[in-house]
Amino acid sequence: MKTCNICGENKPQEAFPSNGKHYYKGYCKVCESAINRAKYADPVWRAARREKHLVWLQTNKERHIATCKKWKSDNAESMHAQALKHRRENVESIRLYAKEYAAQNKDKRVTWQMAREKAIKERTPIWTTELDLWLMEEAKELARLRTKVMGVKWVTDHIIPLQSPIVSGLHVPKNIRVVRDVENCRKHTKLDESLL
C-alpha cells in the first residue's frame, strides 16, 4: 500500500502512475488525471505548450514528417478499421456535418462541380453513341432506384478513375458501375486493379 500525497488515501501500488520501471509517482492516477484536466483547462498553459510544440515542429520538420509517414504505413489497417467503425457509429452526425458544410461552402461545391463536369466532358470520347449515353443515364437511374428502395445511398463509379495521379479513364459505359456511396468514397481516385 502507498499513500497519495494529494488526496491522502492509502491505495495499492498499481493505482499510482509509474515510468514503466520501478519508480512510482507520489500521487495516485485519479489525482494525476485531475491535475492534467486543470492544466489543459488553463488557456495560458495551453498557449505556451502550443508555442513550444510549434517551435519543435519547425526545428524537426523532416523528422516529424518521416515519423508520421512510418506510423501511418505501420498502422494502415487499424486506421482504416477505426475510420470505418467511426463512420458506422456516427452516420447521422456525419450526414448533418456534411449538410452544414455544403450549406456554408456553396462556392466550393460549385467549383468542384464545374471541375467534375469539365473532367467528364474531356474524357467522353468523340465516338460515344446515343446508346452509350443512354446506358450511362440508366446506370444513374439504377443508383437512384437502389437508394430509394434500400434506404442507403448508391452512386455511379468509374472503375478506372477519371482523375488520378497515375491513370485517367474514359467516361464510357464499360468504365461505369453502380456501387454503395461508402465504397466509392473509400476508393476515391485510386485504381483498384482487382476490378480490371
Residue 175: its pLDDT value, please?
93
- The number of domains in the chain is 2
Q: Answer whether 0.75 is exceeded by the pTM.
A: no
Q: Are 160 and 167 in contact (CB under 8 A)?
A: yes
Minimal CA–CA distance to 52: which of 32, 39, 44? 44
Closest CA relative to residue 175, chosen from 194, 189, 195, 155:
195
Residues 70, 6 share a domain: yes
**Residue carrying C-alpha cell 458506422:** 88
Would residue 85 count as lying in a domain?
no
Domain boundary among 74, 100, 116: 74
In a domain, 179, yes or no: yes
- In the block, cell 446506370 appears at 139
- Mind listing the pLDDT tens digit for each residue in 55-109? 999 999 999 999 999 999 999 999 989 988 998 899 899 889 988 998 999 898 8
Please write down the HEC assignment for all residues of 92-130.
Answer: HHHHHHHHHHHHHCHHHHHHHHHHHHHHHHHCCCCCCCH
Say if 185 falls within a structural domain: yes
What range defines the domain where residue 59 resides? 2-74
Q: Rounded mean pLDDT of 135-147?
A: 95
Confidence band of 148 (pLDDT split at 50, 70, 90) = very high
Tell whether 181 is covered by a domain: yes
For residue 100, being part of any structural domain is answered with: no
**pLDDT higher than 80, residue 194:** no
